[in-house]
Amino acid sequence: MERFTGAFTQQEPIPEAGIAAALAVLQHGRLHRYNTVPGEIAEAALLEEEFAAFTGARFCLAVASGGYAMGCALRACGVTPGAPVLSNAFTLAPVPGAIAAVGGRPVLVEVTEDLTLDLDDLAVKARSSGARLLLLSHMRGHVCDMDRLMARAAELGLTVIEDCAHTMGATWNGVQSGRHGAVGCYSTQTYKHMNSGEGGLLVTDDEELAARMILLSGSYMLYGRHRAAPGEEVFRRLRLEVPNVSGRMDNLRAAVLRPQIGLLDDRRDRWAALYRGMEAGLAQTPGLRLIPRHGAERYMGSSFQFLLPAWEPARITAFLARAAARGVELKWFGAPEPVAFTSRYEHWAYADPQPCPQTDRVLAGLIDMRLPLTFTPEDVALIARIIRAEVLALGQAEVIEPVEAPLAD
């Protein structure tokens, strides 16, 4: 019986240029982004300038995490205590967590079987709640029809903030993810598309939003040291009214990240090859449904999802256990209790969750898997063979005895 012996959590090493830049920062000791000597441009300021150029945005801000990025964007857009904020019912906990952390009230919108926002339910929830803001999560890299979404948002009077933690470097009809809405939020946590351990980035074309976010991040009166930022006059209007909610990125992480910007397109292509290999290996497996991808989308395939429609929980937990025994780490978003990073909206008590029956049906059979770039095409082919064999074996079994699902790392 075949068994996979690789690691689902092993990332590629930091590029040599990033290591050298990090060592230089450590040697001079000026880790704080505003601690510079005459004539020096901070690594964080250069990162912002270079990432703005990559995305085509006017302004960019580097912050401490992707979660902070979302909270900063929400504050800048004027979320007040109790204000309704629309978001996907299928996402990770930091998204509703960011809404709750700024005092907003998450209003959860159904998702489709293709794992994207249901635009019809969006309209219903927007009208019933009175929400004026949508925190759109491109969960697991699945991007909805952004042309339709933005048209619907305009009809409903919604400001859109994009959570691009899983879509940095992805495009829709040639437009970078994060550039459709008012603000794009990104993560540079280890399992994302650029790796600094933790970190986040924000982009926008709106000068007032940019100034508010820079002030919120803890610039004090040092905003003039930002290069991808609005002019002095915008800050002078706002600097005494915007609170300091410190969440700056340091120069060490910025130094690690800067060389990775130029690698994003290549990483997207390499992930796409792994993703397509997994699709090919699982195609036409009875009992398993693949998630279709839209032709307008160039996606970052750093994870892979499939559905086991109508499988009862005991059958799914048995499948997870058997796959784990053969070295394949899979996560189930339909598990009754949250495990590691997987959870369902009903687990987020702080979000006052509302029933989303369509999403429930999707999550009940949704299986998730990382695809690190340390995998080879041969690794992917082997993993697909193992998954296919176990789906066929368990999908045809008449009775499945309940078993405990394996613990996630």
pLDDT of residue 399: 61
Per-residue pLDDT tens digits of the chain, which is 409 residues long: 899 999 999 999 999 999 999 999 999 999 999 999 999 999 999 999 999 999 999 999 999 999 999 999 999 999 999 999 999 999 999 999 999 999 999 999 999 999 999 999 999 999 999 999 999 999 999 999 999 999 999 999 999 999 999 999 999 999 999 999 999 999 999 999 999 999 999 999 999 999 999 999 999 999 999 999 999 999 999 999 999 999 999 999 999 999 999 999 999 999 999 999 999 999 999 999 999 999 999 999 999 999 999 999 999 999 999 999 999 999 999 999 988 888 899 999 998 888 999 999 999 999 999 999 999 999 999 999 999 999 999 987 766 666 554 444 4
Distances (CA, A) of 175 to 21, 134, 147, 189, 368: 30, 19, 11, 23, 27
pTM for this one?
0.95
Q: Which CATH class is domain 16-261?
A: alpha beta
pLDDT of residue 56: 98
pLDDT of residue 404: 58
pLDDT of residue 353: 83
Q: Quick one: which of 53, 21, 61 has its CA closest to 226?
A: 61
pLDDT of residue 395: 85
pLDDT of residue 340: 85
Asked if residues 342 and 408 have their Cβ atoms less than 8 Å apart, the reply is yes
pLDDT of residue 403: 58
pLDDT of residue 235: 98
CA distance 204 to 55: 10
Task: Please count the other Cβ atoms lying within 10 Å of the Cβ belonging to residue 270.
Answer: 17
> What is the homologous superfamily of the domain 264-395 according to CATH?
Aspartate Aminotransferase, domain 1 (3.90.1150.10)
Asked if residues 406 and 28 have their Cβ atoms less than 8 Å apart, the reply is no
Q: Quick one: which of 350, 352, 343 has its CA closest to 139?
A: 343
Residue 29, Ramachandran bin (φ over 0: left; ψ between -120 and 50: alpha; else beta):
left
CA distance 82 to 92: 21
DSSP string covering 7-72: -TTPPPPPPHHHHHHHHHHHHH---STT---TT---HHHHHHHHHHHHHT-SEEEEES-HHHHHHH
pLDDT of residue 17: 98
Q: Which two tokens mark 275?
A: 């993703």
Q: Which two tokens mark 353?
A: 């969750």
Domain boundaries in the chain?
A: 16-261, 264-395
* 172 strand-pairing partners: 175, 297
Phi, psi angle pair for 284, to nearest 5° = 60, 35
Q: Quick one: which of 110, 141, 146, 144 has its CA closest to 125?
A: 110
- Strand-pair category, 303-307 with 366-370: antiparallel
pLDDT of residue 405: 47
* 117 strand-pairing partners: 111
